Amino acid sequence: MKSYPRGVYIHIPFCKYICSYCDFNKFYIQRQPVDKYIDCLIKEIESMENIRNVETIYIGGGTPSALSDEQLHRLLTALRNKIPQQLREFTFEANPEDLVDSRVALVKGYGVDRISMGVQTFNNELLKILGRGHVANDVDMAIANCKKHGIEDINVDLMFSLPKQTMDDLYDSMKKVVGYNISHVSCYSLILEQKTKLYNQVRDKKVTLPSNETEEKMYNEVISFLTENGYEQYEISNFARPGHESVHNSSYWKNIEYYGLGAGAHGYIDGVRYANQGALKFYIDSMLEKGHARREENIVTPKERIEEEMFLGLRLLKGVDLDIFEEKYGKRVEEIFKDVIDKNIREGYLEIEGNKLRLTRKGLFYGNDVFSEFLLD
């Protein structure tokens, strides 16, 4: 039976400043053809088909809140003209300093009901090292304005294993977040990516990172602290008040098809995973000349679908449903991956409870290592 996309991701690749750790597809906004980009993005929005089942929209970046009010009006008007239906979730990513009263009112007027803000830490010295443009107090303003305009679904991104970060720094940040009584927290370990400013600083020994042992301890403290304060961990890096899990992001982990629009965006439609042109010029030229911006398309093979089912499903704390897997693929997980499962159960990284195969508490920290073992030859 044909499936229809249930989500739309829109990429805004512009930033007012470039964070020292970020390797996402992004460009410093000054002197960029932002209006021309919005024109092309609107054209791509209008080209979508089979949107009647769309139930989530996620506008991410880059920094969507770097756009001007007029640019946001144009983009959001086109988006809601194309997708007018009631949504289960409409998320807008923003930097805390951009969430002034008028900006929150603007996005709320177009149906945004979830704000995700990149806070990372409440230590201003660490914010400078990360190249962030806000200070800790900006978050107070941002959250107050969201609540004032009735946006109660708020996510805050935090990071750990940062240069010079202590356990006390991490605790202070988590206590601050819990004090806001928001619905969702995402907490990520710093990943050092090549070609970033921070990578060069670490390579040149200008800054040092915590040890692997400290990183693992920090992660376990994050889990303990947030769960003790009413958040349920439902994915390796994500914690929510009951009933407030991210619907859009969960669709990725459940392998549900979605549109990806904008420069560098990835999508999954009709069994095909695709990637758009990443460079602004290539994206704009492709949209103007061809009416689409796809750089590559890959039909997902049956083998790849099984692999994705495992390493996406295992990111969720519920794990992989063994009965549903058998219904989909005609074989038990235990048949296909017997040696891998047995090995990781022995080593304490996986467990089977009822009809679910899932990571153990120990396995959560080593998830990427476990997932790599589910690649079929």
pLDDT in tens, 168-190: 999 999 999 999 999 999 999 98
Q: What is the pLDDT of residue 345?
A: 97
Same domain, 41 and 179: yes
**For 300-319, what is the mean pLDDT?**
95
Q: Please indicate, yes or no, if residue 2 is contained in any of the structural domains.
A: no
Count of structural domains, the chain = 2
Q: Which domain holds residue 33?
A: 7-253
Instruction: List for the chain the helix, strand, coil content (%; round to 5).
Output: 45, 20, 35
Please identify, among 219, 253, 287, the residue that sits at the C-terminal boundary of a domain. 253
Give CA–CA dist 230/144, Å, rounded: 21
Q: CB neighbours (10 Å) of residue 362?
A: 14
Same domain, 202 and 120: yes
Q: What is the pLDDT of residue 3?
A: 65
Q: Please indicate, yes or no, if residue 138 is contained in any of the structural domains.
A: yes
Q: Please indicate, yes or no, if residue 296 is contained in any of the structural domains.
A: no
Q: Is the pLDDT higher at 324 or at 194? A: 324
Instruction: Say yes or no to pLDDT of 348 above 70.
Output: yes
Q: In 149-276, where does DSSP find H-type helix?
A: 167-180, 197-203, 212-228, 247-253
- Return the closest-CA partner of residue 10 out of 70, 85, 69, 74: 74
Element (DSSP H or E) covering residue 286: helix 280-290
Same domain, 341 and 212: no
Same domain, 226 and 324: no
Please identify, among 201, 235, 253, the residue that sits at the C-terminal boundary of a domain. 253
Please identify, among 231, 253, 275, the residue that sits at the C-terminal boundary of a domain. 253
Q: Please indicate, yes or no, if residue 297 is contained in any of the structural domains.
A: no
Q: What is the pLDDT of residue 199?
A: 76
Same domain, 247 and 325: no
- 80-133 pLDDT per residue, tens: 999 999 999 999 999 999 999 999 999 999 999 999 999 999 999 999 988 888
Residue 258 confidence class, pLDDT cut points 50, 70, 90: very high
Q: What percent of the chain has pLDDT over 90?
A: 85
**For 19-27, what is the mean pLDDT?**
73
Strand ranges for 229-369 from DSSP E: 232-235, 238-240, 258-261, 266-269, 272-276, 294-299, 320-321, 350-353, 356-359
Instruction: Say yes or no to pLDDT of 26 above 90.
Output: no
Least trusted range by pLDDT, from 85-94, 188-197, 265-274, 316-325: 188-197
Same domain, 96 and 230: yes
Q: Is the pLDDT higher at 276 or at 205? A: 276
Q: Please indicate, yes or no, if residue 312 is contained in any of the structural domains.
A: no
Instruction: Say yes or no to pLDDT of 2 above 60.
Output: no
Sign of CA dihedral 201, 21, 268, 50: negative
Cα atoms found within 13 Å of the Cα of residue 3, Cβ hemisphere only = 13
Same domain, 223 and 97: yes
Q: Please indicate, yes or no, if residue 179 is contained in any of the structural domains.
A: yes
Q: Please indicate, yes or no, if residue 201 is contained in any of the structural domains.
A: yes
Same domain, 231 and 332: no
Q: Is the pLDDT higher at 110 or at 204? A: 110
What single DSSP character describes residue 314? T
Same domain, 142 and 217: yes
81-85 CB contacts, 8 Å cutoff, 24+ apart? 82/45, 82/46, 82/48, 82/51, 83/8, 83/51, 83/54, 83/57, 85/52, 85/54
- 43-79 pLDDT per residue, tens: 999 999 989 899 999 999 989 999 999 999 999 999 9
Q: What is the pLDDT of residue 288?
A: 97
Q: What is the pLDDT of residue 16?
A: 84
Looking at the DSSP bridge assignments, the partners of residue 315 are none
CATH number at residue 136: 3.20.20.70
Look at phi and psi of residue 355 and say left if phi exceeds 0, alpha if psi is from -120 to 50, else beta.
Answer: alpha
Same domain, 155 and 13: yes
Q: What is the pLDDT of residue 187?
A: 97
Same domain, 249 and 325: no
Q: Please indicate, yes or no, if residue 300 is contained in any of the structural domains.
A: no
Give CA–CA dist 319/345, Å, rounded: 14
Same domain, 115 and 238: yes
Instruction: Say yes or no to pLDDT of 5 above 90.
Output: no
Instruction: Say yes or no to pLDDT of 192 above 90.
Output: no
